[in-house]
Amino acid sequence: MTLRGALALLVAFAAPAGPQMLPAGPATIVLIRHGEEPHDPANPHLSQEGRTRADRFVEFMTHDPAMTRLGAPAAIFATETTNDGNGQRTQETVAPLAKVLRLQVQTPYHGKDYDKLARRVMSDPTLAGKTVVICWNQEWLPELAAALGVTPQPPKWKGKVYDVVYVISYRNRRALLTTTRYGD
């Protein structure tokens, strides 16, 4: 080993661990809410409109130039289903995309546990530099965006809005939020 190589090795091991040493998070996170629900509030599944919207989301993610330039998603997350069926619609909304991409919809947390999901996604080295899709309950989407680094926190999601997409891009470890729409 040359003196230069030994010095480089010594500097590499002696350098303090800082942000540059942390694993990088995803390059982009796409956040949506579930599709439309049926008129019967006891039905935990998507309505026909919601199923149509889920199919439109596949088209949006696989054909819209703004989305395809991000690269194919490496992971898809949705809320875990609770005993009363809450969470079922988020899973059904992204299931068609997961099928096309041959990915499993990961459902590790209930909607209120958005902070746990954010920590998991941001610290998973297998997602570093990749695109992640998350379908969550609308009442927690602004908080989830904030937990993913968006400041200021976006306003409350309007109850009858189903076609908004939050696109969170990371540049120099800063979260940049843009919004777009799909499906109409």
Q: Is the distance from CB of 129 to CB of 26 less than 8 angstroms? A: yes
Query: Exposed, middle or buried, 32 (CB in 10 Å: 0-12/13-18/19+)?
Result: buried
In this prediction, residues 153-182 reach a mean pLDDT of 93
Task: Tell me which residue has tokens 């919601």.
Answer: 50
Whether residue 152 has a cis bond before it, omega within 30° of 0: yes
Cα 87 from Cα 128, distance rounded (Å): 26
Enclosing H/E stretch for 69? none
Above 50 in pLDDT, residue 127?
yes
b/e map of 55-92 (b: 16 or more CB within 10 Å)?
Answer: ebbbebbeeeeebeebeebbbbbbbbbeeeebbbbbbb
* Structural domains of the chain in order of their starting residue, each with its CATH number: 24-181 (3.40.50.1240)
* pLDDT value for 9: 35
pTM, two decimal places = 0.86
The CA-CA-CA angle for residues 176, 136, 122, to 5°, reads: 50
Q: Per residue in 13-66, pLDDT tens?
A: 333 433 333 347 999 999 999 999 999 988 999 999 999 999 999 999 999 999
Q: Per residue in 106-125, pLDDT tens?
A: 999 999 999 999 999 999 99
Number of residues in the chain? 184
Cα 53 from Cα 30, distance rounded (Å): 16
